C-alpha cells in the first residue's frame, strides 16, 4: 500500500509542470515540458566529440558526472557538436525530458552557453549530482556578438584572483568580452618588459593631501603605499582562463590623455618633460600633465614598444587605445606641435589628435590588430578602420555608424556601473545616477543607423570611488544582469516585472556564493 502511494507520488512529481526557471539572460525560446530530469549517481555524460578541449570544458561545467563512451546509455546527458538549423556559433539547443538531456550546438561557444543555462536551472549547490532540472526545450542564441563588461584596474587595483572571479561571474551571465582598462593616470598595471619603469614607478602612488603643487614637489622620505600590477605570466594565465569561458579580452592602453602614470615613469613623453608623480584618486592634478606629446617621434616609439608586447600577450583581434578626454589645448603652446601642425597642415588641435590616432592605428595594424577608441576619436576625423565606443550618449556611435564604422554602444546614463543606483544618501559616494530600471531600458540600436554596424554594448565599471572587491561587485550587480539581458535576449521579450522576479532568484544564488550586490533597486529616489 505504502509502496503504491510512493509510486503514485513519484509519478505525480515527475509529470507535474515545474515553474518556469529564473534564467538570466532570458533565452530566445523556452517551451516548458512535463516533469524533470534527476541527475543521480548513475547519470553519465555522453560527449559526442573527440575534441579534447571541448570534452574538458563540458566536464568542468558539470563536475562530478562521469563521462562514458558506452554506445547505449540510458538516462544520459548527451552533448553534441553539430549544426542546428537557424542557430549561430554562440547558440545552442537544449532538450530536457525525464529520461534524458540533449545539448546540441554548432560550436564550443554554444555548448558553453548551454551548460551555463543548465547550471542556472539547478538551485545553487556544491555538487551537480542530486539535482533535478525541469523538462523543457530551449533554443537560444545571442542578439549581439559584443556583450562586454569593462573593469578599470588603474584607479584601484584588483588582483588576479578577483579578476578571475569577475570573469566567472561574467561567463555565467553570457558576457563574452572583458574590456580591461589597464592604464590611466592613477596607475599603470601591466608589465612591459622593454619599459620596466612603467611598473617600477607607474604602478605605485604616494597618498597625498593638499594641492597639485605638492604632487609636483615630492617630499623626501615619502614611499609609495598603494599600487600593484599584473606580470606577463599573470596576464597569460588570465587570458587562458577567459578563453576557456568564451571571453575575449580587449586590453586598453588609454592615450594620449589619461597617461600620467606612464609620464611619471618616462617624463620625456610630454612636451614640457616635467617630472610628475602618479596621482591619487580625487586629488587635484593638472590635466595638462597627463597628455602625451603627439609631435615627437619618441612618443610613437614608446607606443610601438608597448603595443608590441600587448599584441603578443592578448590573442583577441582588438586593442583599445582610449582617446578620451585628452587635454588638447596644451598642445597649441608646445613648440614641437607648432611645427608638426604647420608641416602637416593641421588647423586645429582636434585635427592634431586625429593625426595622432591615425598614426597609432598604423602601429596597431602593424601588430595585426584592429583599433577601438572612445568616441572622442571622431573629433578631427576618424582613423580609417577604427571601431568607436560611444560613451557620451549614443550620438558619437550614431555619427560613426553613419560614416560606415563599427560601433559599440556604452552610453553612460545606461551602462556606467560607477554611478549611483539608488537614493544617494543611502549609497556609497559617487556621482550621477543609473538605476537598474534605466539599464534595463537600454536599446543599443538607434533608429536611423545600419543595425549590422552596432556590434553590441557593454557595462563599464570605473573605479575612482570603488576601492575594493566587495564594492566592485556591489556596483556591478544587479545592473550587469540588466545589461546581459539587453545584449543577449530578443528585444520584444523584455519584461521588467518578470526580470525583477528573476533578479530576486539570482540574489539568492549570489548569497550562496558570497558575491556582493546592491539592493538599491528597492530604494526610491526622493
Report the site for ligand TNX in 117-156 (rule: CB under 6 A). Answer: none
Give the pairing type, strands 132-140 and 204-205: unpaired
Q: Distance between CA atoms of 503 and 435, rounded to whole angstroms?
A: 14
Report the site for ligand TNX in 211-270 (rule: CB under 6 A). Answer: none
3-state secondary structure of 124: coil
Give the nearer residue to ligand TNX in terms of CB position, either 266 or 462. Answer: 462
Query: How many other CB atoms are there within 10 angstroms of residue 145's CB atom?
Result: 13
Q: How far is CA 426 from the centre of its chain?
A: 27
Q: Distance between CA atoms of 45 and 59, rounded to whole angstroms?
A: 8
Task: Report if residue 418 touches ligand TNX, rule: CB under 6 A.
Answer: yes
Min separation Cβ 322 and ligand TNX, Å: 7
Q: Distance between CA atoms of 47 and 232, rounded to whole angstroms?
A: 35
Give the nearer residue to ligand TNX in terms of CB position, either 35 or 380. Answer: 380
Q: Enumerate the active-site residues.
A: 325
Give the nearer residue to ligand TNX in terms of CB position, either 174 or 479. Answer: 479
Q: Which of 324, 350, 351, 399 binds ligand TNX (CB under 6 A)?
A: 324
Report the site for ligand TNX in 464-503 (rule: CB under 6 A). Answer: 464
User: Nearest-5° angle of CA 94, CA 28, CA 317?
Assistant: 90
Give the nearer residue to ligand TNX in terms of CB position, either 216 or 464. Answer: 464
Q: Residue with C-alpha cell 521579450?
A: 493
Strand order in 29-38's β-sheet? Answer: 29-38, 132-140, 92-97, 100-105, 77-81, 45-48
Min separation Cβ 70 and ligand TNX, Å: 55
306 in Cβ contact with 367 (< 8 Å): no
Beta bridge partners of 179: 150, 250
Q: Distance between CA atoms of 161 and 177, rounded to whole angstroms?
A: 18
Give the nearer residue to ligand TNX in terms of CB position, either 104 or 458. Answer: 458
Asked if the peptide bond before residue 31 counts as cis, ω within 30 degrees of 0, the response is: no
Report the site for ligand TNX in 62-91 (rule: CB under 6 A). Answer: none
Task: Report if residue 325 touches ligand TNX, rule: CB under 6 A.
Answer: yes
Q: How far is CA 18 from the centre of its chain?
A: 34
Min separation Cβ 511 and ligand TNX, Å: 29
Give the pairing type, strands 387-390 and 370-374: parallel
Asked if the peptide bond before residue 349 counts as cis, ω within 30 degrees of 0, the response is: no
Q: Which of 158, 462, 488, 507 binds ligand TNX (CB under 6 A)?
A: 462
Q: Distance between CA atoms of 78 and 94, rounded to whole angstroms?
A: 10
397 in Cβ contact with 454 (< 8 Å): yes
Min separation Cβ 318 and ligand TNX, Å: 16
Beta bridge partners of 416: 460
Site string for ligand TNX, 369-408 (x = CB under 6 A): -----x----------------x-----------------
Min separation Cβ 64 and ligand TNX, Å: 42
Task: Report if residue 158 touches ligand TNX, rule: CB under 6 A.
Answer: no
Closest Cα to residue 35, out of 119, 120, 133? 133
Between the alpha carbon of residue 343 and those of residues 109, 256, 337, 462, the distances in Å are 50, 21, 10, 38
Min separation Cβ 30 and ligand TNX, Å: 36
436 in Cβ contact with 521 (< 8 Å): yes
Min separation Cβ 241 and ligand TNX, Å: 26
Burial (0-12, 13-18, 19+ Cβ within 10 Å), 525: exposed
Give the nearer residue to ligand TNX in terms of CB position, either 96 or 389. Answer: 389
Min separation Cβ 88 and ligand TNX, Å: 31
Size of the site for ligand TNX (CB under 6 A): 8
Give the nearer residue to ligand TNX in terms of CB position, either 104 or 186. Answer: 186
Min separation Cβ 230 and ligand TNX, Å: 20
Give the nearer residue to ligand TNX in terms of CB position, either 304 or 464. Answer: 464
Closest Cα to residue 486, out of 475, 472, 496? 496
Give the nearer residue to ligand TNX in terms of CB position, either 134 or 322. Answer: 322
Q: Distance between CA atoms of 459 and 148, rounded to whole angstroms?
A: 6
Q: Which chain residues interact with ligand TNX by CB under 6 A?
A: 324-325, 374, 391, 416, 418, 462, 464
Amino acid at each position: 500500500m505504502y509502496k503504491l502511494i510512493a509510486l503514485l507520488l513519484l509519478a505525480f512529481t515527475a509529470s507535474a509542470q515545474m515553474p518556469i526557471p529564473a534564467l538570466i539572460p532570458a533565452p530566445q525560446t523556452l517551451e516548458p515540458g512535463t516533469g524533470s530530469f534527476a541527475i543521480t549517481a548513475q547519470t553519465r555524460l555522453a560527449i559526442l566529440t573527440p575534441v579534447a578541449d571541448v570534452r574538458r570544458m563540458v566536464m568542468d561545467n558539470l563536475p562530478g558526472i562521469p563521462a562514458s563512451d558506452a554506445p547505449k546509455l540510458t538516462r544520459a546527458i548527451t552533448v553534441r557538436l553539430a549544426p542546428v538549423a537557424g542557430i549561430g556559433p554562440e547558440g545552442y539547443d537544449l532538450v530536457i525530458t525525464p529520461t534524458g538531456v540533449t545539448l546540441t550546438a554548432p560550436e564550443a561557444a554554444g555548448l558553453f552557453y548551454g551548460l551555463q543555462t543548465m547550471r542556472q536551472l539547478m538551485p545553487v549547490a556544491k555538487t551537480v549530482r542530486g539535482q533535478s532540472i525541469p523538462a523543457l526545450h530551449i533554443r537560444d542564441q545571442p542578439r549581439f556578438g559584443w556583450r562586454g563588461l569593462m573593469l578599470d584596474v588603474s584607479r584601484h587595483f584588483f588582483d588576479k584572483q578577483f579578476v578571475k572571479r569577475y570573469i566567472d561571474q561574467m561567463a555565467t551571465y553570457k558576457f563574452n568580452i572583458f574590456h580591461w582598462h589597464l592604464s590611466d593616470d592613477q596607475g599603470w598595471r601591466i608589465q612591459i618588459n622593454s619599459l620596466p619603469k612603467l611598473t617600477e614607478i607607474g604602478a605605485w602612488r604616494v597618498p597625498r593631501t593638499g594641492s597639485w603643487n605638492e604632487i609636483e614637489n615630492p617630499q623626501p622620505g615619502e614611499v609609495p603605499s598603494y599600487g600593484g600590477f599584473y606580470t606577463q605570466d599573470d596576464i597569460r594565465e588570465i587570458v587562458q582562463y577567459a578563453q576557456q569561458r568564451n571571453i575575449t579580452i580587449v586590453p586598453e592602453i588609454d592615450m594620449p590623455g589619461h597617461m600620467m602614470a606612464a609620464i611619471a615613469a618616462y617624463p620625456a613623453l610630454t612636451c614640457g618633460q616635467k617630472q610628475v608623480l602618479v596621482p591619487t584618486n580625487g586629488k587635484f592634478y593638472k590635466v595638462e600633465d597627463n597628455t602625451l606629446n603627439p609631435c615627437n617621434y619618441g612618443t610613437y616609439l614608446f607606443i610601438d614598444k608597448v603595443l608590441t608586447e600587448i599584441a603578443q600577450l592578448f590573442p583577441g583581434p582588438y586593442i583599445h587605445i582610449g582617446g578620451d578626454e585628452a587635454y588638447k589645448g596644451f598642445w597649441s603652446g608646445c613648440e614641437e606641435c607648432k611645427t608638426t601642425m604647420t608641416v602637416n597642415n593641421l588647423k586645429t588641435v582636434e585635427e592634431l589628435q586625429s593625426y595622432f590616432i591615425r598614426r597609432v592605428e598604423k602601429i596597431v595594424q602593424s601588430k595585426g590588430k584592429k583599433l577601438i577608441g572612445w568616441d572622442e576619436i571622431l573629433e578631427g576625423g576618424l582613423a580609417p578602420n577604427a571601431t568607436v565606443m560611444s560613451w557620451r550618449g549614443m550620438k558619437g556611435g550614431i555619427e560613426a555608424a553613419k560614416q560606415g564604422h563599427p560601433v559599440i554602444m556604452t552610453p553612460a546614463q545606461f551602462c556606467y556601473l560607477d554611478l549611483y543606483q539608488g537614493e544617494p544618501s543611502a549609497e556609497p559616494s559617487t556621482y550621477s545616477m543609473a538605476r537598474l530600471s534605466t539599464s534595463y531600458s537600454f536599446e543599443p540600436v538607434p533608429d536611423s543607423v545600419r543595425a549590422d554596424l552596432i556590434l553590441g554594448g557593454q557595462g563599464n565599471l570605473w573605479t575612482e570611488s570603488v576601492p575594493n572587491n566587495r564594492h566592485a561587485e556591489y556596483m556591478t550587480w544587479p545592473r550587469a544582469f540588466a545589461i546581459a539581458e539587453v545584449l543577449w535576449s530578443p528585444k520584444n521579450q523584455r519584461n521588467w516585472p518578470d526580470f525583477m522576479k528573476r533578479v530576486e532568484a539570482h540574489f539568492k544564488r549570489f548569497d550562496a556564493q558570497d558575491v556582493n550586490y546592491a539592493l538599491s533597486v528597492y530604494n526610491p529616489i526622493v
